[in-house]
Amino acid sequence: GQNIDQPTEMTATEGAIVQINCTYQTSGFNGLFWYQQHAGEAPTFLSYNVLDGLEEKGRFSSFLSRSKGYSYLLLKELQMKDSASYLCAVRDYDNTDKLIFGTGTRLQVFP
């Protein structure tokens, strides 16, 4: 079956670093995406990994290990505006490149 696991909630302090983990078991794999979603808004793209290793983009970094079915999103120098849900999604390429989502991790950043 298709299964993507990530923690439901996390809290952190402004200025700190937080790591959100995601493990996946899917029949196919054609990349892993991280999206950010503020309440009532559209999910917005943060990062994409298809090869093992770390992808860095400003304050956000994402890591992938395909052999372990594992990814994490690293957020540095946390700001209050980073309070949001973070969605891990695997692109499953069988005959379509649909995304399979985890339930999302709600991150609260406190001053």
Interface with another protein (CB under 8 A): 4, 31, 33, 35, 40-45, 48, 50, 87, 89, 95-104
* CB 109, CB 79: distance < 8 Å: yes
Nearer to another protein, 6 or 82 (CB): 6
| Shortest Cβ 44–another protein spacing (Å) | 7
Token couple for 95: 């005959």
| Shortest Cβ 50–another protein spacing (Å) | 7
Nearer to another protein, 78 or 107 (CB): 107
What gap in Å lies between CA 57 and CA 70, rounded to an integer? 19
| Shortest Cβ 107–another protein spacing (Å) | 17
Token pair 């309070």: residue: 83
Strands (E), the chain: 3-5, 9-13, 18-25, 32-37, 44-49, 53-57, 60-65, 70-75, 84-93, 97-101, 105-110
| Shortest Cβ 67–another protein spacing (Å) | 21
Nearer to another protein, 69 or 102 (CB): 102
